[in-house]
């Protein structure tokens, strides 16, 4: 789906890389059973960045330069109507 002015909507899902400490995820994993939600494991907390871009080809560079810390985070780029590019 195109945004305003020929732009497309992109979503970048950022999460800690495997093996990286995720204290927020651990806190949620401990809290859910205490609230009566059983069967929860491997909780990871990340963030979602939504943006409208004119040139989706620049998204990976944006992620590597500013939107994520590539040393400790993985990301997925989802462009409305175009699928997913994971990194």
CATH number reported for the structural domain that contains residue 76 in this entry = 3.30.1280.10
pLDDT for position 8: 94
Task: Please report, to the nearest 10 degrees, the dihedral formed by the alpha carbons of residues 47, 12, 84, 10 taken in order.
Answer: 140
- pLDDT interval class at 85 (50, 70, 90): low
The mean per-residue pLDDT over the stretch 70-83 comes to 89
Count the domains in the chain.
1
pLDDT in tens, 9-60: 999 999 999 999 999 999 999 999 999 999 999 999 999 999 999 999 999 9
Domain extent for 48: 4-86
Please tell me the predicted confidence (pLDDT) of residue 86. Answer: 57
Q: Write down the pLDDT at residue 1.
A: 44
Two tokens, residue 21: 């400490």
């Amino acid at each position: 789906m195109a945004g305003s002015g020929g732009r497309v909507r992109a979503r970048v899902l950022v999460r800690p890389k495997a093996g990286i400490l995720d204290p927020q995820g651990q806190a949620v994993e401990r809290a859910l059973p205490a609230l009566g939600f059983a069967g929860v494991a491997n909780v990871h907390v990340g963030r979602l960045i939504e943006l409208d871009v004119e040139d989706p080809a620049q998204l990976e560079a944006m992620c590597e330069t500013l939107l994520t810390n590539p040393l400790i985070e993985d990301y997925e780029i989802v462009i409305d109507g175009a699928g997913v590019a994971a990194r």
